[in-house]
Amino acid sequence: MVGAMKLVSTLLRACGLVLALCGPALALCQGRDLIAALPAPDRAALQAAADVPFAEGNFFAARKGQAQILLVGTYHLGDARFGPVVAALTPALAAAQELLVEVSPEDEAQLKTWLGAHPDAVFDQAGPSLRDRLSPADWQALSAAVQARGTPPAAILKMRPWLVAAMLEAPACMGMDKAALEAGLDHRLTAAATAQGLPIRSLEPFDTALKVFAALSPEDQLDMIRQALLTEPVAEDMATTLTEAYFRGQSQLYMAFAREEAIRSSGLPVAEVDRELGVMLALLIDGRNAAWIPVLDAAAAKGPVVAAFGALHLPGEKGVAHLLVQDGWTVTPWTPGEAWPQ
């Protein structure tokens, strides 16, 4: 599955699946916005490729009868631009009965406790080390990459490959500073809700991340590492491109761009890249989206709720916004600062 693994970085950061496990945080990245640098015809082609339901926007108001949900598409790494966003969302939190997130503080603590009792979930103590499973060249490149991120190679020898790949998806310009991670929109909203005494609940069980990645074969997980190493020279640019696309409300446009990059760099047929991408989307996004709809329905039946989750869960035929429409909800764009609930 090497062809589509270039897109895993987008999915990991947009889905928030690894924050409680290895949370990289944005520091002083100075990469280029590769989408903004494209010629106008190429950008237009990307726009056409990203033409799906709810393709643009990070905030939507959903209503069905008297039930109301404020959908907040988030980005899990820190950025100073989130300060005004959180300030504008604070009144909406005050009007809500509950905040729904991917991993609540309570479940994050439960996950850490569970991992302490089940280290085999992230460390393969019985099998061969990564040094033995990778080629000498790949291991040398991996060692240099993790050292650049402040992690000694010995520390990753027995890690599950998917977790190592997740570490690599944050370029070396990003650090492991927990305080910086908490500048992400998810953590900022959680902190604001906690300060207000607003109940916070997870959209899914605390061990979802582990089950999602455990479903990948060992070779697919190693391919995640190999692909991350191939894109290491442009990792900072890709991270910056994703961040800027998010703040333009165009996360889906970045996915179209990353698909084109995967096709270009892998040399695989387009159909093969799309097949592999479909597998990853089904695993990391589509299945989870479908599972969240009854949770959102039940929560909103008790009063207005704010639901905050990775922005890439919003767009598309199988995105949360469109699934809610199919479930009888009316979903419209919302601008932070507007009155809510209506």
pLDDT at 181 over 60: no
How far is Cα 324 from Cα 331, in angstroms, rounded to an integer? 8
pLDDT at 299: 98
pLDDT at 213: 82
Q: What are 12's two structure tokens?
A: 């990991």
Sheet holding 98-101, edge to edge: 200-202, 98-101, 305-310, 67-74, 59-64, 330-333
pLDDT band at 27, cuts 50/70/90?
Answer: very low
How far is Cα 190 from Cα 198, in angstroms, rounded to an integer? 9
Rounded percentage of the chain residues whose pLDDT exceeds 70: 89
pLDDT at 290 over 90: yes
What is the number of alpha carbons within 13 Å of residue 186 lying toward its C-beta? 27
pLDDT at 132 over 60: yes
| pLDDT digits 0-9 by tens, 75-108 | 877 788 999 999 999 999 999 999 999 989 999 8
Taking CA atoms, 126 is separated from 87, 114, 158, 236, 309, in Å, by 49, 20, 9, 35, 35
Rounded percentage of the chain residues whose pLDDT exceeds 90: 55
Mean pLDDT of 268-273: 83
DSSP string spanning 176-208? Answer: --HHHHTTSHHHHHHHHHHHHT--EEESS-TTH
Mean pLDDT of 54-68: 97
| pLDDT digits 0-9 by tens, 296-327 | 999 999 999 999 999 999 999 999 999 999 99
- Mean per-residue pLDDT of the chain: 86
Amino acid residing at 196: Q
pLDDT at 197 over 60: yes
Taking CA atoms, 101 is separated from 139, 141, 174, 237, 258, in Å, by 37, 36, 24, 28, 26
pLDDT at 172 over 80: no
Of residues 114 and 18, which shows the higher confidence score?
A: 114
pLDDT band at 162, cuts 50/70/90?
Answer: confident
pLDDT at 59: 98
